[in-house]
Structure 1
Amino acid sequence: MTTPQLSLSVQYALKLADLPNRHQFRRWVKAALQGDAEVTLRVVDAEEGQSLNREYRDKDYATNVLTFVFDDMPEGVDLPLMGDIVLCDPVVRREAQEQGKTLEAHYAHLVVHGILHMQGYDHETDAEAEEMEALETRIVTKLGYDNPYQIKKDQ
């Protein structure tokens, strides 16, 4: 089996010293990737996160991660998976603190989560959620982080 090829663009819409770097983002994306892909990963503020969530999901609040898959290719065209992942930094920070996780570990989990969505995984039903969460846990722990679904209660 060949290693999936990745074209990754990372965009920082805000400047903060403790954001993950491009190398970290690439490592996390590659860990979850099952085939070739062209991905743009964008880190945004709450205003942009809320605007995108409102426009594309009709939900008027900022959410942690949004995944946009470009899947309008004609049948039979064999191109790499293409899409965008948007991470809303203030939400990611708040959740990491609430869940007793490091910021890095939570970013890693959400990148893996977004990449799995790009590849067709979902969590709309209990069975889908169970499958996706098990895969996320396997990938995230293999990267050296704790189980992302095991929230620390002592925080």
Structure 2
Amino acid sequence: MAENNTSQPIISVECVIEADGWPREESLRDLALGAIEAAVQEAGASRPIGLTVMFTDDESIRDLNARFRGKDKATNVLSFPAAAVPGSEDDSYIGDIAVARQTVAREAEAEGKTFDHHLTHLIIHGFLHLLGYDHETPEEAEEMETMERRVLEGLAISDPYA
């Protein structure tokens, strides 16, 4: 959890490892929190934010993709925005991100990226979806990808779209 000060909201990231082969939980938590803190700063978010990042495998993400998006295939990252709770004033929990280890590893290798850099990008990508960014139209894609590039540049990670 990030400490609160006048310029940075409290950020709570829960990491759930549900598949074998992932790095240690502490390493994943540090990577996820660093990625999300950088995205929060770039996006100018000012309210408390809570989310869960699930580190899973191709089989599980394929099931999630089929059930929630109607696409019966594995993918690298999925985002699930939290539904508003009627009568609740606490809107800090924004949703869940699921990431598939095998797909991340395959893509990183195919694209000549380190696993950690590609994973960082995908967590940022998923997080921006939770903030409402999308890439359904060319204009939306350009806005979201520009935001991703700026966040990654601040983390000394190369442009993933170059």
Query: Do the structures match in fold with TM over 0.5?
Result: yes
Does residue 15 (structure 1) correspond to residue 17 (structure 2)? The answer is no
Quote the Cα distance in structure 1 between the aligned partners of 2:140 and 2:60.
Answer: 29
Q: Which residue of 2 aligns with 1:39?
A: 51
Q: Which residue of 2 aligns with 1:56?
A: 68
Please tell me the residue identity of whatever aligns with 2:16.
Q
How many residues are paired up? 150
* Runs (5+) with no aligned partner, structure 1: 151-155
TM-score norm. by structure 2 comes to 0.85
Q: Which residue of 1 aligns with 2:32?
A: 25
Quote the Cα distance in structure 1 between the aligned partners of 2:134 and 2:57.
Answer: 25
Which secondary structure state, in structure 2, belongs to the residue aligned with residue 21 of structure 1?
A: helix
Which secondary structure state, in structure 1, belongs to the residue aligned with residue 141 of structure 2?
A: helix
Aligned with residue 132 of structure 2, among 110, 120, 140? 120
Query: 1:72–1:79: structure 2 CA closer, same or farther, 3 Å change rule?
Result: closer
Aligned with residue 84 of structure 2, among 72, 82, 89? 72
Please tell me the residue identity of whatever aligns with 2:148.
E
Query: 1:75–1:134: structure 2 CA closer, same or farther, 3 Å change rule?
Result: farther
Quote the Cα distance in structure 1 between the aligned partners of 2:93 and 2:8.
Answer: 14
Contact between 2:22 and 2:101, CA under 8 Å: does it hold in 1? no
* Runs (5+) with no aligned partner, structure 2: 1-5
